[in-house]
Structure 1
């Protein structure tokens, strides 16, 4: 059997690895348009190993996160990849957020997240002495790791089972008219395959459309801009300090994330990127931008959340405004404590009505299986997503 996987991010590599485990007789080929693996979302990931607090019980996210975190933990320990349980504190700033925090507590309990604790007053300050808030929900098993290193290990596993990762191979055509899946590439010629898995991240909707899948959900790129605490100020945060999510808004907001190799990131905000892979403000691709602006889903989202967009843009343009947002959670932070850090771009899937696709979404069209949406906790869940996708790829 000849199986192709489009995309050498953490999910594509995990899927290829799993396919090699299940079908050692198969030839598994990963096609990646860049000259290196894990170039985009995986390589710019904050490194958080999520425990499963936020996700609606019974959702694919909840199921695959809880299985995925256990698989990932065992894998990192086996391969000598650092994984540290630094813990996460979700902070309620005032009484208006307590009901939402209690809902998170309920979800975490239903999802089987271990060790969760409700904290108030001095208990909260024992975990994060410099954090604000009247109450908090503490997850001691939320951790951090190096997802670029995990992806590199997955790529090694693909090779050890006889598979290959072909770099500089951009998929430009997919035909399912015959019994085989014909994949046309720039850089690697034409491949005839029996099965194809699409794990293309920021390009997932475009590649799925080549295979005859529906246009929606469409991917809209949002750049997440970060700062980093100066080294002498890293002691302000022990682990991860997060806000309580507001269901009225589509993004989480500024938070504090300790990194496994040192440093504390502050952010991100979320602003529209003017290119699918637009990591800087000056990165503009008119074709990408026009595609976004033509999207029904984006226009509906913009109408519903323009005030939030203006708030996020202000934080993007003003370091002082960004610091003020961060100071709501750690009051001692000043603008002088923040230095620029690399940005990421989130592949946000939108339905035509403007609603953000919250759950993982995986479609199957004959011999082609497409991962259409795998946002956070996608990296945490990668090994579990791989199990799920590989089973569908191999179905008759």
Structure 2
């Protein structure tokens, strides 16, 4: 069979892309290929479940634009299809006077991105809503929420297949032959298609390199580890509590997240992983580790963030150190209050010059589209990103409303 589109990857971005292709062009034949046995098996199903507001992202960036529109879309989608979510809000807390200028920068970005009803809170004010939190000043972000992203992925897959779309699980793509017609080779057989769209997450560089000689980036995996707070201490956290991000590290820092199932997660850290799907510290893949350490850009970024990165590794190995980091926001938290939770691996795109690809990165060449970088807030943004990619593939400009 000749397909009109083959989408590689059944995470939230890949599923949303395939779904929008069918919505925009119902007669098209669309196939999703996924190496795992189900949807959202990696980044889409191993995140903290946060609906991000868009407050952190550079105004005008793809992250900012897609997060704001994706935020609205994912909430409308959840309401329409009965997916559990809660716009519980969050506070971003400066724990020292030195962090106040950084807090102001975040506030100003939120205003520039169109967020309404942001509010500065004094220590007395934020302790009225989070009485066990400590700091000097905070921003209240009412738009932030929590949601069940695996349920979102399952519903998108269901809607996609109801429209006639096909999903091939347990099909690992091993090569793409790009010509007048495109052949996507998998370990279970080959598929012919007119266009291919890769949303391969942790392997986005590997798949992109199948069709381009311009191998200008690599995916470096960072594992984020969580603890859960024991039931007896859940009352300490009412909403979501975030620190001011460390400007010397490209991650948000350990924080407290109320989950849709009622549990409270603390984390994540950001530890260099030695396997792209390495959810435990002991997970190791020699070839993938060699990819990282053999890449010139890695050593440049290591020189820049090495000290902070070593601290992240130490917190991974030391529960006491992890607890100490949490105590900056919540002094009452003790080591005994934490039990091991889950973990996820973030696909961080890195250039040869050592710079991080911070924004969403989507490239089109002829009949091939590669989503090369889609870190957080890709889950929040998935419906917006999927529609954007669909429009790019179909060469249309309309925006669909749910």
Shorter-chain TM-score bucket reads: over 0.9
What's the CA shift for 1:213?
5.7
Task: Name the SS for the 1:12 alignment partner.
Answer: helix
How big is each residue's C-alpha offset from its partner over 1:342-382, in whole Å with a ceiling of 9 and x where there is no partner? 11101011111222211111001110111111111000000
Encode CA deviations 1:42-99: one digit per residue, 9 max, x unaligned: 1111100001100011111111100000010000000000110111110001111111
Q: Is this contact kept in 1: 2:248–2:308, CA < 8 A?
A: no
CA distance in 1, matches of 2:246, 2:272: 20
Shift of 1:10: 0.6
| Length-normalised TM-score, structure 2 | 0.96
Indicate whether 1:336 and 2:351 are aligned. Answer: no
RMSD (Å) for aligned C-alpha atoms: 1.1
Offset at residue 127 of structure 1 (A): 2.0
Match for residue 180 of structure 1? 181
Do residues 109 (structure 1) and 111 (structure 2) align? yes
Secondary structure of the equivalent of 2:101? helix
Q: Is the 8 A contact 1:270 1:312 kept in 2?
A: yes
Could you list the per-position Cα deviations for residues 28-55 of structure 1 after superposition, in whole angstroms to 9, with x for gaps in the alignment? 1000001111110111111000011000
Q: In the alignment, is the contact (CA less than 8 A) between 2:6 and 2:193 conserved in 1?
A: yes
Query: Residue 147 of structure 1: which of 140, 146, 149 is its match?
Result: 149
Query: Secondary structure at 1:2's aligned position in 2?
Result: strand
Question: 5+ residue gaps in structure 2?
Answer: 397-402
Distance in 2 of aligned mates of 1:211 and 1:395 = 21
Corresponding position of 1:194: 194
Tell whether the 8 Å contact from 1:213 to 1:365 is kept in structure 2 after alignment.
no
Note the alpha carbon deviations across 1:202-247, whole angstroms, 9 max, x for none. Answer: 0101001112263232100011111110011111111111111122
Give CA-to-partner distance per residue, 1:146-199, whole Å, 9 cap, x none.
0000000010011011101100011111011x2111110112x11111111100
- Counterpart residue number, 1:161: 163
State the alpha-carbon separation in 2 of the partners of residues 125 and 223 from structure 1: 32
Rounded to whole Å, the distance in 1 between the matches of 2:213 and 2:383 is 25
> Matched residue of 2:32: which SS?
strand
Distance 1:15 1:213 in 2: 25
Q: Deviations over 1:321-359 (max 9, x none)?
A: 100000000110000000000111010111112222111
Q: Check if 1:365 corresponds to 2:360.
A: no
Report whether the alignment pairs 1:16 with 2:18: yes
Matches for 1:1-396 after TM superposition, within 5 Å: 2-176=4-178, 178-187=179-188, 189-212=189-212, 214-395=214-395
**In structure 1, distance between residues paired with 2:291 and 2:95:** 39
| Structure 1: runs of 5+ lacking an equivalent | none
Q: Which residue of 1 aligns with 2:400?
A: none
Contact 1:209 1:215 in 2 (8 A): yes
CA distance in 2, matches of 1:81, 1:217: 36
- The total of aligned residue pairs comes to 394
Q: Distance in 1 between matches of 2:73 and 2:79?
A: 10
**In structure 2, what is the Cα distance between the partners aligned to 1:216 and 1:162?**
37
- The secondary structure found in structure 2 opposite 1:210 is coil
The 3-state SS of whatever aligns with 2:390 is helix
Q: Distance in 2 between matches of 1:214 and 1:379?
A: 28
